[in-house]
């Protein structure tokens, strides 16, 4: 028998404020059509004043617990993937732990920008398969609206705020790719490309900074690297693209999503797309899309899912799982 980390609950939360593309026309040299044609984004959610990343994460966590039919005492650990934690320290995860009333186990953050949820999911899988935890809450949560330069039309129209949560539980399998749970993972990074997507501030500079991005360079790397990591993860699982029911990609740009699907030889009908409604929510985008996909009735038990992401670092990776 083989221990697998299987999805047993999922949930999400989006701030109340919805910002349509047209709002940017008032302050920027841009249009709704320009934004949609280049990104596929039509609207996004922004956190309210005083609303923090841990607030969003806690709401998503409660939704996932409800979906799983679990109480907080059933969890062993919480991992939050975020690049926009409330404070330098302590971690957002410990704040979520406190808000949920969880007085046992452990909690920590993972920071790999848009690839953060893939890294956190891989970490949670390792904890479960190693026997160090039985149930792990994995959350992606961001308030990217806090690090936008509102004069830069190339970036500020692309990002949004939100949170998604997924609960992994230990289940016994036969050790084949017919098992439920995470079947394979693949992680990568290359720091030589850090200057094409970064925030120009931080603790040592005593500034918050703004997000900076060379869009064309990011696009050039994204499609190639996402298709490659998805293919590698599938090979590790002993599977082929034909066996995929759903690709749930990082929701950054519809052209990147479509280009990656094409390289994998998959039609867009087998891709979960939420970028039009959420924008790029960085580490939150994949769990948000998983939760929305389940709520829509698209993702069903037994489905084979490939999820992949790339973010600043550059950092990228993929996970193959059976729902």
45, 114, 253, 278: which one is catalytic?
114
pLDDT of residue 278: 98
Q: Cβ distance 257 to 114 under 8 Å?
A: no
21, 125, 253, 280: which one is catalytic?
280
pLDDT of residue 170: 98
21, 250, 253, 278: which one is catalytic?
250
Q: Is 156 a catalytic residue?
A: no
pLDDT of residue 43: 98
Which residues touch 233 (CB under 8 Å, ≥6 apart)?
184, 185, 186, 306, 308, 317, 318, 319, 320
pLDDT of residue 267: 97
Whole-angstrom distance, CA of residue 145 vs CA of residue 211: 10
Q: Is 280 a catalytic residue?
A: yes
Q: Cβ distance 321 to 178 under 8 Å?
A: no
pLDDT of residue 255: 97
Structure tokens at 276: 């039009």
| Cis preceding linkage at 314, omega within 30 | yes
pLDDT of residue 289: 98
Q: Enumerate domains of the chain plus CATH numbers.
A: 2-173 (3.40.47.10), 181-322 (3.40.47.10)
pLDDT of residue 89: 97
pLDDT of residue 104: 97
Structure tokens at 72: 């907080």
Cα 14-19-21 angle, rounded to 5 deg: 135
pLDDT of residue 90: 98
If we measure between CA atoms, which residue out of 248, 255, 244, 296 comes closest to residue 272?
A: 248
Q: Is 221 a catalytic residue?
A: no
* pLDDT block averages, 10 residues each, the chain of length 323: 97 98 96 97 98 98 98 98 98 98 98 98 98 98 98 97 98 97 98 97 94 96 98 98 98 97 97 98 98 98 98 98 98
pLDDT of residue 129: 98
**Helix, strand, coil % (nearest 5) of the chain?**
40, 30, 30
Structure tokens at 33: 């059509």
Tokens 């600043």: give the residue. 312
């Amino acid at each position: 028998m083989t221990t697998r980390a299987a999805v047993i609950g999922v949930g999400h939360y989006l701030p109340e404020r919805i910002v349509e593309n047209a709002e940017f026309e008032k302050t920027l040299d841009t249009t709704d059509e320009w934004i949609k044609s280049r990104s596929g984004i039509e609207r996004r959610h922004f956190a309210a004043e005083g609303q923090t990343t841990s607030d969003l994460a806690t709401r998503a966590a409660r939704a996932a617990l409800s979906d799983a039919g679990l109480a907080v005492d059933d969890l062993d650990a919480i991992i939050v993937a975020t690049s926009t934690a409330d404070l330098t320290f302590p971690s957002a995860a410990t704040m979520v732990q406190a808000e949920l009333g969880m007085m046992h186990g452990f909690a920590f953050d993972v920071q790999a920008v848009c690839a953060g949820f893939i890294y956190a999911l891989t970490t949670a899988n390792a904890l479960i398969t190693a026997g160090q935890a039985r149930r792990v809450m994995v959350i992606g949560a961001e308030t990217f609206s806090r690090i936008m330069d509102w004069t830069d039309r190339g970036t500020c129209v692309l990002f949004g705020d939100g949170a998604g949560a997924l609960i992994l539980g230990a289940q016994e399998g036969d050790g084949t790719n017919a098992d439920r749970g995470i079947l394979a993972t693949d992680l990568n990074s290359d720091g030589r490309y850090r200057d094409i997507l970064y925030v120009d501030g931080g603790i040592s500079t005593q500034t918050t900074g703004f997000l900076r991005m060379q869009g064309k360079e990011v696009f050039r790397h994204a499609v190639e690297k996402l298709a490659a990591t998805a293919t590698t993860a599938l090979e590790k699982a002993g599977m082929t693209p034909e066996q995929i029911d759903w690709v749930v990609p990082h929701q950054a740009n519809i052209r990147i999503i479509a280009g990656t699907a094409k390289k994998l030889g998959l039609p867009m009908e087998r891709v979960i797309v939420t970028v039009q409604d959420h924008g790029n929510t960085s580490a939150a985008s994949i769990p948000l899309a998983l939760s929305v996909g389940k709520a829509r009735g698209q993702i069903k038990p037994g489905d084979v899912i490939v999820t992949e992401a790339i973010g600043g670092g550059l950092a990228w990776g993929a996970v193959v799982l059976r729902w």
